[in-house]
Amino acid sequence: MDIKIVLIGAGSPAFGPPTFIDLNRSEILDGSTITLVDTDENKLQMVYEVVSEDNKKIGNKFTIESTTNREKALKGADFIINSTEHGDRFELRWQDNTIPRKHGTTERMGENGGAGGFFHSARQIPEIVKIAKDVQRICPDAFFINYSNPVSRICLALKREVPKLKMLGLCHQIGLLTSHHIQAMLNRDLNEMQLITGGLNHFAFLLGLKDLKSGVDLIPEFNIKCMEYFKDKWDRFHFADLTFEIYKMFGWFPYVGDNHICEYLQIGSQYTTQQDLTDWITMMEQANKGGTDRFKRYHKRLKKGRYPKKGMLLKEPSGERAIPIIEAIIKDSNSYEIAVNIPNNGIIDNLPQDLVIECSGTVNKEGVHGVKLGNIPKNIAAILRIEASIQDLCVEAILQESKQLAIDCLAIDVNCGSFEMAEAIFNEMKGVQKKYLPNFK
């Protein structure tokens, strides 16, 4: 098939090779050109050599290219998948996590919410907006798929700065719930049910569940069985005290897990400990290092002529949804996706329309279309609107490079609540991360 797919950030072993595994499993993308792009030439070359070797082992199904020149890569592109991080991911993430707390915030994760989430956004948004503007200029009909965090805030900035861009954001957080918990709880296969989700990325809820054959609403059965099912499955990193307190008080299940939703609620710090989130980030950092080290070992074996016969290709897909969505667009299949991040545009009536939401959707040749939810429960809408307002101000502060708006955003965040604290955080974070941040003035 004469399709060009560009992977931006492909020098990361956690992105480039797993995406190639998904491509290899595709039934319709044989013959496509896969262009690997990264600013780190050494990492990019290593990934290119390994992926090229694996491509040989499967009969050269694809044309593999690599370049550090983004403009060159984007020429003739049909799909762009972005997974980039501006600066050292974990060095900066630890700063996002610890410095705001030093000044008194109730920061827990500091990735997508809280003061840490603001500075993560400030590093990411300007760089990804540049990429998107290049896409709009060079290949305006291409679809842009964003994996980079903070997904909601990046996608909101893209909506405002590059409004004609065909864009969606993806996150795999729903996978944990859908892969086994609901199936086991209700004793039904996933393909026999339709899950309907709604909210914001890392702050979303299961708002519908039905049997596809009979049309029966399964939410009542879910509510009857949920607490008993999870009684012996408490997981401090996923479904634990905070998840079930929200479920009990608001009546709808937050499928995102404690380690995500704790960033957005004033009560988050009452139910998740800082040690929990420190351990989580440590575990993610170690997993990232382990995956990188494993990849380097494969590369060394390749250079020494001892590369495994089966290569690095795994039997199982990565679990990410970019390649299945690309297939659905090409086939015009009208397939169903449980969770995508797209502009609201009338999907949820009682949330701001100038917002990027997470919701279920269908995919055809025109792109991704959200399942209309109308008015979601008022209590859920209320807590989402708080975060929506913070995201609105966050994005404007970054796009305008406004120090005052930045401090205002930090101060009104549910993890802070003090202008004095916000200014102290801003000054220290700007000092340590200056080379990665906009020119706030």
- Per-residue pLDDT tens over the stretch 362-396: 999 999 999 999 999 999 999 999 999 999 999 99
More confident residue, 177 or 118: 118
Confidence at residue 9, expressed as pLDDT on a 0 to 100 scale: 97
Give residue 180's pLDDT: 84
- What is the tally of structural domains in the chain? 1
Q: What is the mean pLDDT of the chain?
A: 95
| 9 within 8 A of 37, measured Cβ to Cβ | yes
Q: Look at residue 196 and tell me whether its pLDDT is greater than 70.
A: yes
Out of 29-38, 68-77, 266-275, pick the least confident: 266-275
Per-residue model confidence (pLDDT) at position 237? 87
Whole-model pTM above 0.85? yes
Residue 66 forms part of a structural domain: yes
As a whole number of Å, the CA-based R_g of the chain is 22
299: annotated active-site residue: no
pLDDT in tens, 116-154: 999 999 999 999 999 999 999 999 999 999 999 999 999
Cβ(313)–Cβ(21) under 8 Å?
A: yes
Containing domain of residue 164, as a range? 4-170
In the chain the first and final C-alpha atoms are separated, in Å, by 49
Domain-embedded: residue 119: yes
Handedness of CA 130, 134, 137, 142 (dihedral sign): negative
Q: Output the 3-class SS for the chain.
A: CCCEEEEECCCCCCCHHHHHHHHHHCCCCCCCEEEEECCCHHHHHHHHHHHHHHHHHCCCCCEEEEECCHHHHHCCCCEEEECCCCCCHHHHHHHHHHHHHHCCCCCCCCCCCHHHHHHHHHHHHHHHHHHHHHHHHHCCCCEEEECCCCHHHHHHHHHHHCCCCEEEECCCCHHHHHHHHHHHHHCCCHHHEEEEEEEECCEEEEEEEEECCCCCECHHHHHHHHHHHHCCCCCCCCCCHHHHHHHHHHCCECCCCHHHHCCCCCCHHHHCCHHHHHHHHHHHHHHHHHHHHHHHHHHHHHHCCCCCCCCCCCCCCCCCCHHHHHHHHHHCCCEEEEEEEEECCCCECCCCCCCEEEEEEEEECCEEEECCCECCCHHHHHHHHHHHHHHHHHHHHHHHCCHHHHHHHHHHCCCCCCHHHHHHHHHHHHHHHHHHCCCCC
pLDDT at 27: 83
Residue 182, CB half-sphere, CA atoms under 13 Å: how many? 26
Which residue of the set 172, 181, 202, 238 is catalytic? 172
Domain contains 428? no
Mean pLDDT over 3-12 rounds to 97
Please give the pLDDT value at position 127: 98
**Two tokens, residue 139:** 């290949």
Tell me whether strands 166-169 and 143-146 are parallel, antiparallel or unpaired.
Answer: parallel
Residue 325 placed within a domain: no
Torsion sign (Cα): 317, 318, 320, 322: negative
Q: What is the pLDDT of residue 71?
A: 97
pLDDT by residue (tens digit) across 143-153?
A: 999 999 999 99
Q: Cα dihedral angle (260, 283, 119, 10), rounded to 10 degrees?
A: -100
pLDDT tens digits, one per residue of 415-440: 998 999 999 999 999 999 999 999 99
Half-sphere exposure of 375 (CA within 13 A, CB side): 4
pLDDT for res 177: 65
The reply to whether 63 falls in a domain is: yes
With respect to residue 61, please indicate whether it lies within any of the assigned structural domains.
yes
pLDDT of residue 313: 67
Q: What percent of the chain has pLDDT over 70?
A: 98
Residue 257 lies in a domain: no
Question: How does pLDDT run across 299-327, given as a tens digit for each residue?
Answer: 999 999 999 988 876 667 888 999 999 99
Helix axes 274-303, 89-102, angle to 10 degrees: 170
Report d(CA 371, CA 347) in Å as an integer: 7
Copy the structure tokens of residue 30.
């044989």
Tokens standing for 251? Answer: 């009546």
CATH of the domain at 98: 3.40.50.720
Q: What is the pLDDT of residue 334?
A: 96
Count the alpha carbons within 13 Å of 365 in the hemisphere toward its beta carbon: 3
Largest CA distance in the chain: 62
